[in-house]
A and B are shown apart, each in its own frame.
Chain A
Amino acid sequence: MDPARTPLGRMLLDEITPVVMVLRTPLVEEACGKNGLSFVEMLSPFCSFSNIDVPVRTASDQPYRLQKFKLRLFYSSDIRQPDVQVANERLKDVITQAGEKDLSNLSSELPQVDELLSSSESDIMPSWFQFFNKELIRTMSFSDHEAFDHPVACLLVVSSKDEQPINRFVDLFNSDQLPSLLNDGAMDPKILKLYLIVHDNQDGAPEKAKKFHNEMRSTFGSNSSQLLCINSSQGGLVEHLQNPWAPFKTDASPTQRLGGFLNIDDFNEIKKLTQDLASKHVIPYMEEKVRVLNQQVSATRKGFKNQIKNLWWRKGKEDTPDASNGPVYTFSSIESQIRVLGDYAFMLRDYELALSNYRLISTDYKLDKAWKRYAGVQEMMGLTFFMLDQSRKEAEYCMENAFNTYLKTGPTGQQNATRSGLWWVEMLKTRDQFKEAAGVYFRISGEEPLHSAVMLEQASYCYLLSKPPMLRKFGFHLILSGNQYKKSDQIKHAIRTYRRSISVLKGTTWSYIQDHVHFHIGQWYSFLGLYDSAVSHLLEVLSCGHQSKTTQEFFLKIFLQTVQKTGKACQVMRLPLPVINSSSLKVVFEDHRTYASPAATGVRESLWQSLEEEIVPSLPAARANWLEVQSNFTSKPNKNSNMCIVGEAIKVAIEFQNPLQISIPLSDVSLMCELCARSDDADSEANSLTAELQNDEATMLTTDRFLNSDMSSFALSNVELTLEGGGRKMVQLTVTPRVEGTLKIVGVKWKFSSSVVGFHNFVTGSVKKIQKGGKKNKQSPADSLKFDVVKTVPRLEGFIQSLPEKVYAGELQQLTLELNNKSHLSVKNLKMKISHPRYLNIGNQRNLNMDYPACLEKKTNSAEKTILEPHTINAPRNVFLFPEDTVVQGDTSFLWPLWLHAAAPGKVSLYIILYYEIENPESFMKYRTLRMLYNLEIFPSLDVSFQISACPSTLEEFLVRMDIANKTSTRNFQIHQLSSIGYQWEISLLQPTDSIYASPTLMSGQAFSCYLILKKSKRLDRAEANGSPVCSLTVSDIQLSTEGAGGKMYDSSLSPVKDFHNVERLQHGKSLEGDSNMVDFVLIYWPLDSETDPGVSDRPSLFSHHECHCSVASTSPISWVVEGPRLIHHDFSTSFCEVTLKMALYNSADAAASVRINTLDLSRNGDAQSRDESTLASGKQAGWYNVSLDSEIKVTSDVSGIQMKPLSSDSASPFVWTGSSSTKVRLPPLSTLGIPLQICVFSPGTYDLSNYILQWSLVLPDDQGNHGETRPSSGTCQGYSYFLTVLQST
């Protein structure tokens, strides 16, 4: 494109044009003043010619025509470097005015990025930038180092009213009032002079003026003198449509009419005047001068010889002391002449000529180190290149060169640099090198804040306009300039730039950036008093967890101050403090399910349901029936909205979280609810409300609704709390509806540090956890917060009186379940279920008022064994049905006994469900359930283990070893009694009590063991007699301790103990009708010492330990004993001795057994040996005499074997078994049988009659194979040793 059309081109054609110096008399001004114009102002509009069409011939011979041309008129007084201070002041005013102007759109909506991008440069940039830049450049004019500002011609103006105008002309041009440029010889004083006489037509006819004009002609030459008549119109009421002077009079007040006295002929005169001023004088003069100079230059400098000379000469000048700007060049010096030549050529658009001369001179200046001038020339070269529109690189290089060189020179250089920078920028812009342009702007942004602010802002727009747009840079530089604006307290501009940057930086996660921007905008708004906008911005920085503590406090302080300044209590929909963790929202409500304790609500719904299964009529059915009932009331049956009861609180737990490190006080934390009383428009209203709530913008509207929504319809809880830094708190809020209808929990509101009210809307945030088992997935959050309030139904509150948290294992306690019915209605047929009957069991009414543990004592203190009737052993009921007649009346409480037995150590949580039905039929709910949860921690107390081994000596007698260890650290226990429960089993002491135990108490950590005998009670026979093979369990007790409890015995067949015992049996997975070889033990003990560790219950209580299913049949089911004389006197002289023995066999198995006894004829020597081997191998016998000798019971059999060896070895004197060597018998189950045996002894001695083998095998019924029991079904036993001594009788 044509460079002249570009912005820069236009600028240059404007700025770099010939200057005409004007000298005038005061009367001239006076004449012009009538029009409110100075003389220069009056002419200026007519000094720029769009189409002057003058032929020009410079150095080259072919002429060309100038079209666009301009003269710059200045009073001689103005032709000097303008004062920087003044200039700055002016600029400042410009900016301030601009700021005031766009204060209006400060609070307007922010422009979006894409808008900015789409819109063109002109409407992004503030309009005053152009003006600002022009002014800036003007401040650099009339420097002596460049010639295009030097006046080309001098216009002397005298009024016709002056007396002796000719002399006046002369006086005007005397040097004292001439500008310094001419005086100090920077330019040629011999300047083209033009003489003008101005006549004011209002002072009468222009004859006089004409006369003067003639004089002038004669004096100064005809063509250089002119006459101008003005103010031709009387009255001065001439109206000019589009007033030509307006653009030139910045400070024009609209009232005064410009050029009121100038009518159309005056216009034409002025036009004509300026026209030939330009075409007839200035341009020709310049042409002339160019030609002359050109000749001189070429004479002195063109050509090789001159070059050398020039160089050599300059070298010679090296040593001359330089001023900072190199040598001083007078107008006569060749350098300045070349410069003038260049500039004139430039102004006459002969750019080649200009360029060549600039080139020429620049080297010289460089050599002379005349940096300023050098830079100036470089600058012009750049511009010339541009105007020639060739070699961009050259152009830019020159500009950069100029720029840097200027910077090298002093502070004035800085300003020149700025100018060249601006030109450079323009150059780059026209070539769409916005990025580089921005860079240049950045470089010319000096220290002076205001100046740099504007430059930076322009830079930012360059980034925006560059392709691709560099938005972040844009934002960044906006911020930078905003800072500068702030420094030079142009707050409005600062805000403007910052707000623009927001449009770019919005939504960025660069926290510090966000905070910085919003915080400052907020602050500045509050400076300006726009508090609402300030608050809205400060809100953004409130949750600044990443900032340091001090910063956080600072932000908070400012925010609160601003809020106070706003005066009113401000209400914010999105108050970021504290952060509300929507996912943590828990809604707990009670429809037919009620909870005894908050802990109970925490339990998984599925778990409760699994427990409820048996007691509750199947859930869907239940729900169906209340649904249809309810559908009578509401227009539509809304299936998925929950249900709550009038007067019963809905608990909402929501987590508040403090992102800051400083603690923040919250008050009036409460729910926002809407309760539409049940009516036709209920739903519509509710919907409309939610609709409003959906959009957060409708803050005020919604708040009003909540603040004055009538509290009569529901009651809200009000919480105060303080969140520590970084802390999070679950807040429990409740709403209690008071009338039926549809309740909506809309959100939560709180007051932050008692000044700001914040809201949070649940529906917008998602609800995750709802206490509503399977349904929660299907529900939309909105539904889960919507409730149908139905009319009140009774609700039971229940708890267990004084249930300890910590107990020792085995403890048996009596507790009481208390149920309170607050309502006036009564509830009936209660059911109850306990998750762990092993630990907690339900007593019956009569337990209630008996004193425990006394109630367990036996009436008779004898060890008389009692019989558990079979029917009493029934499985503990899964569901406990309270007696039919139990009805909990309104406002009454109801007690029921419970038994606690700490069965096993560990933590256990007991779930209790109580089911009850409501009496009045037309309530929504037929039933409700009460859910209770108790956690129990059980410490180990006594560790009891039993071992049973058969004793061979006597049939059906077993040795029981009881090992007890006290596992507790602190407590001592007294063992009181041991009861065995089993079929006909009867426990008894090995020795009388007192003899074995000095004290039956167990200190902590102590352990001891004792031996007891377990024998079949004789009832067996009777039982068999009346042919009932399966017979009842017997309980036999023995007292282990003499002192304590007054030697009373406790009846382990009484209710709680018995029940728990049964549970224990079940616990071990065996059927209650265990076989007869199983025996259970119940150990009863209690803590001795009074001092009890805290938390552990110290109420009077028994401890009971239940050991179940100790198998007596751990050995072979077949046991036998040989009975007969031990010592016989016999006279062997007469005959050998015949002894008859009886072997009693007992089959303890529940199946018939076939037994075969083989007697071995002779006892060989190795016999004993082999037998021992066998004994060792098959530990089928327990050598029972030796047991007491060694401590470890387990190895009994082996030891016995070893013990027996010597015995058997020395007694190998022969005897023979007589009678059948092998007998086979069949033993019915649980029966004894006697078999006769006989031996013959031939000599006195001691004999061991153990050389027989007993083989047995159970004949099992087919239906019951072995159930993986590790019990052998057949085996072989060696005979027991039986020592018979035969003496010779005398």
Chain B
Amino acid sequence: MSRASGPRSGDAIFASVERVNAELFTLTYGAIVRQLLTDLEEVEEVNKQLDQMGYNIGIRLIDEFLAKSNVSRCVDFKETADMIAKVGFKMFLGVTASVTNWDADGTCCSIVLEDNPLVDFVELPDTCQGLYYCNILSGVIRGALEMVSMKTEVTWTRDMLRGDDAFELQVKLLKQVPEEYPYKDDD
């Protein structure tokens, strides 16, 4: 884990990756959500499902992420959160997020998204109150962090679709399973 080649900035990677039309992307995601709503009928179920899908994305995405943005191993949760916000979001979503609201023992913080391409045009109808439209994101983060052995709990604390002024994801570190390096030294 050498910091020889420092992590590339999210923008650099974002610039390099191929793009897809934002609206197409947005609508595709919208279609997924809509379908889930029709299939599972209950908003709660949809939230779960989205989160699950996100998780499945996350556990794959993390490798891609680490490969593309050769970030070095983060020493602590703080750094990890920053990395997600600054590099991760930029790289995959094209937006930068900020990390705030650290609690005392640095196990819980909020990732704040000013804008969010997922929710263009979206407006929650009365029937879908309680839907966390972007719940897939929380899933992604959870999944990705789990792959780097951080058990986290990601919840939405602010949601523009519910009239808040930004999107805020609260990431709470439940427990960190340290990777151990089994070696013996006997003399």
In B157-187, which residues have CB < 8 Å from any A CB?
177-178, 180, 182, 184-187
A1266 within 8 Å of B by Cβ?
A: yes
Contact A1274 B180 (CB under 8 A): no
Closest to B187 in A: A1257
Contacts of B187 in A (CB 8 A): 1255, 1257
A488 within 8 Å of B by Cβ?
A: no
Contacts of B177 in A (CB 8 A): 1268
A1243-1276 Cβ-contact flags toward B at 8 Å (1 or 0): 0000000000001010100000110101001100
- How long is the Cα–Cα vector from A1268 to B185 in the complex, in angstroms? 17
- How long is the Cα–Cα vector from A1274 to B184 in the complex, in angstroms? 9
Contacts of B180 in A (CB 8 A): 1266, 1268, 1270
Shortest beta-carbon distance from B34 to chain A in Å: 19
Contacts of A1274 in B (CB 8 A): 185-186
A74-112 Cβ-contact flags toward B at 8 Å (1 or 0): 000000000000000000000000000000000000000
Chain B interface, number of residues (Cβ within 8 angstroms): 8
Closest to A1265 in B: B182
Contact A1270 B186 (CB under 8 A): no
Closest to B41 in A: A768
Contacts of B178 in A (CB 8 A): 1268, 1270
Closest to A1268 in B: B180
Closest to B180 in A: A1268
In B118-136, which residues have CB < 8 Å from any A CB?
none
In A727-761, which residues have CB < 8 Å from any B CB?
none
Closest to B179 in A: A1268
Contact A1266 B185 (CB under 8 A): no
B89-116 Cβ-contact flags toward A at 8 Å (1 or 0): 0000000000000000000000000000
Contact A1257 B186 (CB under 8 A): yes
In A787-805, which residues have CB < 8 Å from any B CB?
none
- How long is the Cα–Cα vector from A1265 to B186 in the complex, in angstroms? 14
Contact B186 A1266 (CB under 8 A): no
Closest to B186 in A: A1257
Closest to A1255 in B: B187
In A428-452, which residues have CB < 8 Å from any B CB?
none
- How long is the Cα–Cα vector from A737 to B35 in the complex, in angstroms? 42
Q: A interface, by DSSP: helix, strand, loop or mixed?
A: loop
Shortest beta-carbon distance from B181 to chain A in Å: 11
A402-436 Cβ-contact flags toward B at 8 Å (1 or 0): 00000000000000000000000000000000000
In B50-102, which residues have CB < 8 Å from any A CB?
none
Interchain CB contact (< 8 A) of B182 among A1255, A1257, A1259, A1266? A1266
- How long is the Cα–Cα vector from A1257 to B185 in the complex, in angstroms? 9
Contacts of B186 in A (CB 8 A): 1257, 1259, 1274
Contacts of A1268 in B (CB 8 A): 177-178, 180
Closest to A1269 in B: B180
Contacts of B182 in A (CB 8 A): 1265-1266
Shortest beta-carbon distance from A1256 to chain B in Å: 11
In A806-821, which residues have CB < 8 Å from any B CB?
none
Closest to A1259 in B: B186
A640-667 Cβ-contact flags toward B at 8 Å (1 or 0): 0000000000000000000000000000
Shortest beta-carbon distance from A585 to chain B in Å: 14
- How long is the Cα–Cα vector from A1255 to B180 in the complex, in angstroms? 23
Contacts of B184 in A (CB 8 A): 1273
- How long is the Cα–Cα vector from A1257 to B184 in the complex, in angstroms? 10
- How long is the Cα–Cα vector from A1122 to B57 in the complex, in angstroms? 59
Shortest beta-carbon distance from B107 to chain A in Å: 16
Contacts of A1266 in B (CB 8 A): 180, 182
Closest to B184 in A: A1273
A893-925 Cβ-contact flags toward B at 8 Å (1 or 0): 000000000000000000000000000000000
Contacts of A1273 in B (CB 8 A): 184
Closest to B177 in A: A1268
Closest to B185 in A: A1274
Contacts of A1259 in B (CB 8 A): 186
- How long is the Cα–Cα vector from A1265 to B183 in the complex, in angstroms? 10
- How long is the Cα–Cα vector from A1273 to B181 in the complex, in angstroms? 13
Shortest beta-carbon distance from A963 to chain B in Å: 15
Closest to A583 in B: B41
Closest to B182 in A: A1265
Contacts of B185 in A (CB 8 A): 1257, 1274
Shortest beta-carbon distance from A217 to chain B in Å: 100
- How long is the Cα–Cα vector from A1274 to B187 in the complex, in angstroms? 10
Shortest beta-carbon distance from A409 to chain B in Å: 61
- How long is the Cα–Cα vector from A1273 to B182 in the complex, in angstroms? 11
- How long is the Cα–Cα vector from A1080 to B121 in the complex, in angstroms? 57
Shortest beta-carbon distance from A64 to chain B in Å: 78
- How long is the Cα–Cα vector from A1257 to B177 in the complex, in angstroms? 25
Closest to A1270 in B: B178
- How long is the Cα–Cα vector from A1270 to B181 in the complex, in angstroms? 11
Contacts of A1265 in B (CB 8 A): 182
- How long is the Cα–Cα vector from A786 to B178 in the complex, in angstroms? 58
A707-745 Cβ-contact flags toward B at 8 Å (1 or 0): 000000000000000000000000000000000000000
A849-876 Cβ-contact flags toward B at 8 Å (1 or 0): 0000000000000000000000000000
- How long is the Cα–Cα vector from A23 to B182 in the complex, in angstroms? 138
- How long is the Cα–Cα vector from A1265 to B180 in the complex, in angstroms? 12
Shortest beta-carbon distance from A586 to chain B in Å: 14
Shortest beta-carbon distance from B177 to chain A in Å: 7
- How long is the Cα–Cα vector from A1255 to B185 in the complex, in angstroms? 12
- How long is the Cα–Cα vector from A1255 to B187 in the complex, in angstroms? 10
Shortest beta-carbon distance from A904 to chain B in Å: 14
- How long is the Cα–Cα vector from A1194 to B178 in the complex, in angstroms? 22
- How long is the Cα–Cα vector from A963 to B182 in the complex, in angstroms? 35
Shortest beta-carbon distance from A297 to chain B in Å: 79
- How long is the Cα–Cα vector from A208 to B177 in the complex, in angstroms? 143
- How long is the Cα–Cα vector from A1266 to B186 in the complex, in angstroms? 15
- How long is the Cα–Cα vector from A8 to B187 in the complex, in angstroms? 126
Shortest beta-carbon distance from B45 to chain A in Å: 11
- How long is the Cα–Cα vector from A1268 to B184 in the complex, in angstroms? 14
- How long is the Cα–Cα vector from A1268 to B177 in the complex, in angstroms? 9
Shortest beta-carbon distance from B104 to chain A in Å: 14
- How long is the Cα–Cα vector from A1274 to B185 in the complex, in angstroms? 8
Contacts of A1255 in B (CB 8 A): 187
Shortest beta-carbon distance from B167 to chain A in Å: 27
Closest to A1260 in B: B184
**Nearest 7 pairs between A and B by C-beta?**
A1268-B180, A1274-B185, A1257-B186, A1265-B182, A1273-B184, A1270-B178, A1257-B187
Q: A1257-B185, A1257-B187 provided; 6 other pairs, C-beta below 8 A?
A: A1255-B187, A1257-B186, A1259-B186, A1268-B177, A1274-B185, A1274-B186
A-B contact pairs, 14 of them (CB 8 A): A1255-B187, A1257-B185, A1257-B186, A1257-B187, A1259-B186, A1265-B182, A1266-B180, A1268-B177, A1268-B178, A1268-B180, A1270-B178, A1273-B184, A1274-B185, A1274-B186
Residues of A within 8 A of B (CB): 1255, 1257, 1259, 1265-1266, 1268, 1270, 1273-1274
Residues of B within 8 A of A (CB): 177-178, 180, 182, 184-187
